Structure formats: structure tokens, C-alpha cells
Structure 1
Amino acid sequence: MILGYQAVDVDNHYYEPLDAFTRHLDKKFKARGVQMLTDGKRTQAVIGDRVNHFIPNPTFDPIIVPGCLDLLFRGEIPEGVDPASLMKVERLSEHPEYQNRDARVAVMNTQDIQTVFMLPTFACGVEEGLKGDIEASTASIHAFNRWLDEDWGFDRPDHRIIAAPIISLADPAAALDEVDFVLAHGAKMVLVRPAPVPGVIKPRSLGDPSHDPVWARLAEAGVPVGFHLSDSGYLHIAAMWGGKSTFEGFGAKDPLDTVLLDDRAIHDTMASMIVHGVFTRHPELKVASIENGSYFVHRLVKRLKKAANSQPRHFPEDPVEQLRNNVWIAPYYEDDLPLLAETIGVDKILFGSDWPHGEGLESPLSFATELAGFDAADVRKIMRDNALDLLGVNVASAA
């Protein structure tokens, strides 16, 4: 795919080394945070006090081949083909770009990509694993952010890689301290888990006023919040219907889990931000949904309209317009993209490939082939300009 300019991919991933959460961890949390235990044959992650299966093999060796599950996620597996046969793996040592910044930039040059948002893999399951120990969770995430800045850099003057640190809101005061830390070290984007905020007494909405200092600081800095697909703890809903209550990365799954949960966490996350007034109190705050699909947007619009019609005094601003003004969406490539553009506007759609994950695209720029119904100006917005507008940065394309 030749675009005539370099793209900006908002959904790229690294594979964390085993010490990502421990290299800078305060020693007093050694037994309460993330531990990597090896029995001579196998390495397992112990988070808190139990083995965590969010990533079954935290060494990432071997690792799944980028894009090998494409047919599975498109629903286009040929008749008679076993879905398990699509899984292909390779040696991690053959791909330094999965764990090394300079090697990744070299690959980006061959992919004709100007900038990527660099996001976690293993770390997407850690906050859920530590939600019962907020102090250890806060310390572990701070240690992770220090590792991330050390190995990848939150940002550098060329804006080639935007590595997004994690912010846990569980302890509001500590969350504000962490925001100040990452902003001081150049963060251009932060990640917040799309989930209810863990609390000592009970969970809280993302729109709880106790989080306003964080939203205010990020809005003032012009730094957007990314909500990336994570372990949001929603399997407790599946457990109510007889399913498993903890996430497992691979293995047999009950399809009812998918039907029940799918994009429920991101739907509820955005609902909490809008209904509980985050964008009313902080109209300059920008957020992006990444790797959560886009079909939740249509259900959310319908429900926001109904809520505003039935309780108009609760909504001093039009909640649907807040969704359209403050929220960017990186859809799945197999989604109905013209319908999404009609719903929120083409200016709010982002290109994300999920590279190098197996469920993503083998060749990131092939995303543009899904945009056949858009004119050239709108394709450029989706593939490049909208992401730069979200970041508030200006970078020159080499093409």
C-alpha cells in the first residue's frame, strides 16, 4: 500500500522483558508485586499471591507471528480448516524490534510509518491482578513506568515512538503524583485501564470527583488518555453465568463469555466519563479508545440519548456531542468504518494495526485497504492527521 505520506499507527506493542515490573520496584514490595518464577522448564508470572494466566508465557519465547490470526478475526476461516492451525510462532531472538527501540524504528522505516503509539502487552493484566493491594499496585506501576521510559522513552524530539505510561487511579493522590512524574519525563499520552477504579472500600466510577485533579492536569497539559483493551475484571459477569472468573490468554473458552462481555468494559468506561461529568468539568480533556472495536459507540449513543431525554437536568451539555468532541476511536479493521464515520465524524477515527500481535495486521498499512469508501483527504486523516491532532504535535512526513 502506497499512501504518498507516512502513517501514524496508534496501536503498536512491545513485549516486556521479565524485569519490566521489578527492575525499579521498591524492595519492600518484592513479594507483593509482580514476580517471575522459574522451575527450570517454565516461567510463570505470580501477581500478588497467585499465578496469573493473562499472559501464559511471560518470556514471550516463542511468540506468535504478526497477523497470523487475521482470518479468524475476520470470520473468514475456510470450511474444514481448524482455527488452531492458524496459530504460528517464531523465536523472540529473531525479532529484536519487539523489545528494542532502535530496532523498532528501523522496522518502522520499512513499514513507511512515521510514528507509533507504543503500548503494553503483559502489563495490560497487572492492575486487575493487584487490585486487592492498592499500595503494591501503585508501586508496581511506578516501577513499570520507570522501566518504560528507560528502555523506550515516553517521547523524543523526533516523535517516532510515543510510549504511553500507565496511570492507576486507585489512590487519587498517588495518581496525581504519577501524572506529574510522567509529564515531567515527557509523556505525550497516558493509559488508564477501562474498568471501574479499585477502592479500599468499594470501586469508583472514572467520573468520581476524586479523580478530577488528574483529569485537570492532563487537560491542562494537552496530554490525551488512552483506554486500551485490558483485563478489566469483567469476567466476574461471566462467572455469574457459570464461566471462569479470571482471564486466561489462551486455551478453550466458552463463547458465551464473548457474547456477554465483548466490548462491555469500554462501553461502560466511556459512559462513566460522560454521564458522571468528566467532559463537562474538563472540556479540554481528550481520550482515545484503542483496540476495543467501535460497535460500542452506536449502543452508547442510543443510551446517552435516552438518558438525556429522561433526565435532562443531569446533562448540562449534550452527552452525544461530548462523545463526538472529546473521544477518538481506533476501530478494529474489520468494523463498519463508514458507519463509524457517520456516527462520530471522520476526524475522530484513528488507524491502529495492533502490530506485532497475532490478531492484528501482518502489514500495518494494509489497514488502508479497508478505507475504499473514503476519499483521499479522509484516508489521510484516518491514517495520519487525526492521531497528530490528538497528540497536539506536528511532525513532517518523509514521504
Structure 2
Amino acid sequence: MKRRGVQVLQDGKRAYIVIAGKINRFIPNPTFDPVIVPGCTELLFRGEIPDGVDPKSLTAVEPIHPEYRDREERLKVMDAQGLAAVLMFPTLGVGVEQGLRHDPEATAVALTAFNRWLEDDWGFAYQNRIFGAPMISLADPDAALVEIESLLARGARAVHLRPAPIPAADGPRSFGHPANDPVWSLLAEAGVPVAFHLGDSGYLTYSAAWGGASDFEPFGGRNDPLDQVLVDDRAIYDTMASMITHGVFHRHPTLRVASVENGSDWVAILAKRLRKKANQAPAYFPEDPLDVLRRNVWVTPYYEEDIPALAETIGVGHVLFGSDWPHGEGLADPVQFTKELHGFSEADIRKIMRDNVIEYLGVDSVAS
């Protein structure tokens, strides 16, 4: 599997990630050293750049910190930040399945290797405070079942799936395809939720049809603003649409899923279109799709979005706090997310900041 999977190519001081024999540019600097300063581009994402300020000047880098790589150091920083617990998702890792989309066997092997590293380095539930999310692919459902059974036995509390059409050997599949049902059944019965985290979903193929970029290089290379306008949250929208429309949650009503770092603007338009289609073709919707959305789906909004509107659509109990720390577009101080919760009661703020994620994870509690 060495050449079929993921390799690191060192060229002097420069490192490259090679996937299936091809340099992968999903993350141009895979060493993350230097790394962007947490929260330095917050004004850019809020659309509040002062007049005359070049947006590029907001980006700042620094040497990587020990707490980005060491769990004991991370716990110290969490204490200082006032965080009882965190969910951690891969950054470089979410570009692997797209790079191996033509090789389901190599995909399964590579993700299994990643999960072994994650367990050794961070743990799946270290001190009941750091919850690392292992990655799985449904390209080969049988291989996914084997991996999930192993992960459950080793204490995984959540699993990560890429929001994208499943790259099966016989052609792309919906998440609602019956071939995936054994996986959904296993996760639902185990009470282990799924997280769909932003990654390389291959959607720049669609923007390329309009003259945009053909490779996903969000932090470098040739940028075309049309790329993000066209596909910014399209992958998660399509993912949730496929799961609801193709009956995943009707067949597995206790399955819990979350959208992580995909924003929340897509939720309202999805709810509107699902309700319209259910009215037009009720035979295909044995349950009200909005009820299904509110029962089975949790969402982490971006801090700059309309969080009260999201809560009105899916219910405050399904809104999750997410800071994306320590990324540049995230919050420098994660708990400052509470300042975005205008108009929410103290009880609802506690739900968003703590209680909802405990319910989503299906654990009794986390550290206080």
C-alpha cells in the first residue's frame, strides 16, 4: 500500500503530501510550521475589514505551539480557556478520501492507519475531555463495518465521514443507498454519532465547469471567488438532503449526525425545499422531513451567522458551539462564542455551549 496510499516527500526543508503517487495540494504546508495565528482573520469572515486595510494583511503566522500536537499541553490550554472538553477533527486528513477516490481498498487501509495514529497520539476520549473523531469511508461498506466494530471496541465516541458522494468502485452512491444500511444500523444501535466535517468533497469539479479552479487549494494557488460562491456549503447541503430524502433517518431513527464547520446558512433553504418536495410527492416522505431534520441533525454554525434563525429552524437543542480553534478563521478565545448568543436565555446558552454536545455524543457527562 505504500505507493497507493499516503506518503510524505521531503525536498530540502519543504514537505509535500503524495497521495496515490500524486502531490496533493489540499494543504500546501502539511507540516503546519509555521502556522496561522488563531483568530487572526476573524474580521475578514465577519465582513468587518476597516476601510483601506488589505485583507491579506490580516493573515499572520507563527511557530507551531506544543498544545497543537501534545494532549497534555492541550489540556493545560483548555483549562486556561475555560473549556471542559473538546471535539477534535482532522485538517490534513479530510483531504485523503478525495485523493484516493479511485481506490476504495487503499482508502480503507489509509484511514485505518490514521485511526491507529489518532488513538495513540490523542485518544478517542482522553480523560473524558479530548474526543478525537476517527475517519471512515463508505466506499466499501464491508470494510467500513470491520473498522467501525474495531473502533467501537476501542472506545470511539464519534466517527467522521466526508460530506460528498460516496466514491464506490461501481460508481458514486448516495448516503441513503441500501448498501450503507448495515453501517447506519451498527452506529445507531451503538449510540455512536456521525460528524460530517468540512473537507475536500471534490466539489471544485463543479466550479471548474464554470472556469474556476480544478484543484482544491484553499490556502494558496490560483483563487477564484466564484469557487466559494458556487460550492461553499453545497456539499453538506447535498449530504443531508440525500440522507433525509433517501430515508436514512426513517430506517434508523436513533442515528445522530452533526454538521461541523460547514456553517448553517444551508439549513433554512434545505428545510424549505424538503417541505415543498414532501408536499408535492408525499409518498416518498413517510415522515415530515422537517421533523426528521430536527430529530436527527445537529449543526455548528459559524459565529458570524444568524444563530437565532438556525435555532428557530432546528430547535435550540440541536445547535452546537464550535470555535474552530486554533484556526485563523476561528475564534482566538473559544468561549467568546457566547457573545454571539444574543437573545438566548441562560438555560439555552448552557445548552448550546455544553449540554447539546453531551446529548449528541450520547455520553453521561464530560469533565466539569
Partner SS state of residue 256, structure 1 = helix
- Residue 32, structure 1, aligned to residue 1, structure 2: no
Aligned AA for 1:267?
Answer: Y
Pairing of 1:64-143 with structure 2 (within 5 A): 64-92=36-64, 95-143=65-113
Partner residue of 2:176 out of 207, 210, 217: 207
Report if the CA contact (8 A) 2:244-2:292 is conserved. Answer: yes
After superposition, give the CA deviation of every residue in 1:271-303 in whole Å (9 maximum; x if it has no partner): 000000000100000000010000100010111
Shift of 1:90: 0.8
Correspondence 1:249 to 2:218:
yes
Equivalenced residue count is 367
Aligned with 1:338 (options 302, 308, 320) = 308
**AA aligned opposite 2:202:** G
Hey, what's the Cα distance between the residues in 2 that align with 1:55 and 1:143?
19
Q: 2:151 aligns with which of 179, 182, 188?
A: 182
3-state SS in 1 of match to 2:325? coil
1:282 is the counterpart of 2:252:
yes
Once residues 195 and 231 of structure 1 are traced to their aligned partners in structure 2, the CA distance between those partners, rounded to angstroms, is 8
Partner SS, residue 255 of structure 2: coil
Structure-2 residue corresponding to 1:23: none
Normalised by the length of structure 1, the TM-score is 0.91
Shift of residue 132, structure 1, vs aligned partner = 1.1
Cα distance in 2 between the residues matched to 1:165 and 1:273: 21
* Aligned equivalents of 1:55, 1:392: Cα separation in 2: 33
- Offset of 1:320 from its aligned partner? 1.0
Structure 1 residues 162-214: Cα deviation after superposition (integer angstroms, max 9, x where no partner): 10100100001001111101111100000000000001121000110101111
Query: Cα offset for 1:234?
Result: 0.5
1:57 aligned partner, one-letter code: N
How far residue 50 of structure 1 moved from its aligned partner, in angstroms, is 1.1
What is the one-letter code of the residue matched to 2:210? W
Q: CA contact under 8 A between 2:136 and 2:147: conserved in structure 1?
A: yes
What does the per-residue CA deviation read over 1:141-178, in whole Å, with 9 as the maximum and x for residues that have no partner? Answer: 0000000001111114x310110100100001001111
SS in 2 for 1:155: coil
Pairwise mapping of residues 316-335 of structure 1 onto structure 2 (< 5 A)?
A: 316-335=286-305
1:394 Cα deviation (Å)?
Answer: 2.7
Q: Residue 74 of structure 2 aligns to which amino acid in structure 1?
A: R
Superposition pairs of residues 294-373 of structure 1, within 5 angstroms: 294-373=264-343
Secondary structure of the 1:394 match is coil
SS in 1 for 2:283: helix
Measure the CA separation in 2 of the matches of 1:112 and 1:69. Answer: 22
Partner-residue secondary structure (3-state), 2:85: strand
Could you say what secondary structure the match of 1:150 adopts?
Answer: helix
Please tell me the residue identity of whatever aligns with 2:348: D
Equivalent residue, structure 1, for 2:21: 49
2:57 aligned partner, one-letter code? S
Give the AA of the match of 2:166.
V
State TM-score, norm by structure 2.
0.98
Deviates more, 1:389-398 or 1:110-119: 389-398
From the superposition, tell whether residues 165 and 397 of structure 1 become closer, same or farther in structure 2 (CA, over 3 Å).
closer
Structure 1: unaligned runs, 5 residues or longer: 1-28
Deviations 1:208-227 (A, max 9, x none): 01011110010001111000
* 1:196 match: 165
1:385 corresponds to: 355
> Aligned match of 2:193 in 224, 234, 257?
224
The code of the aligned residue for 2:217 comes to: E
SS at match of 2:40: coil
Q: 1:218–1:285: 8 Å Cα contact kept in structure 2?
A: yes
Question: How far apart in 2 are the matches of 1:88 and 1:66?
Answer: 9
Structure 1 distance, partners of 2:151, 2:201, is: 23
Please give the alpha-carbon distance, in whole angstroms, between the structure 1 residues aligned to 2:367 and 2:147: 33
Contact kept in structure 1, 2:325 and 2:331, CA below 8 Å: yes
- The Cα RMSD (Å) is 1.0
CA distance in 2, matches of 1:155, 1:177: 20
Q: Which amino acid aligns with 2:67?
A: E
Deviation string for 1:345-378 (max 9, x for gaps)? 1000000000001110000000000012111000
2: CA distance between counterparts of 1:191 and 1:298?
24
1:17-43 CA-partner distances (Å, limit 9, x unpaired): xxxxxxxxxxxx111111110111311
Once the two structures are superposed, residues 45-69 of structure 1 have per-residue CA deviations (whole angstroms, 9 ceiling, x without a partner) of: 1111211111001111100011101
Please name the residue that 1:14 is paired with: none
* Counterparts of 1:123 and 1:249, CA distance in 2: 15
Q: Where does structure 2 lack aligned partners over 5 or more consecutive residues?
A: none
Larger relative contact order (C-alpha < 8 A, sep ≥ 6)? 1
Residue-by-residue CA offset, 1:119-149 (whole Å, 9 max, x unaligned): 1010011110110111111100000000000
Q: Contact conserved, 2:358 with 2:366, CA < 8 A, in 1? A: no
1:59 alignment partner in structure 2: 31
How far apart are residue 395 of structure 1 and its match? Answer: 2.8
- Show CA shifts across 1:66-94 (max 9, x none): 110101110111111111111111111xx
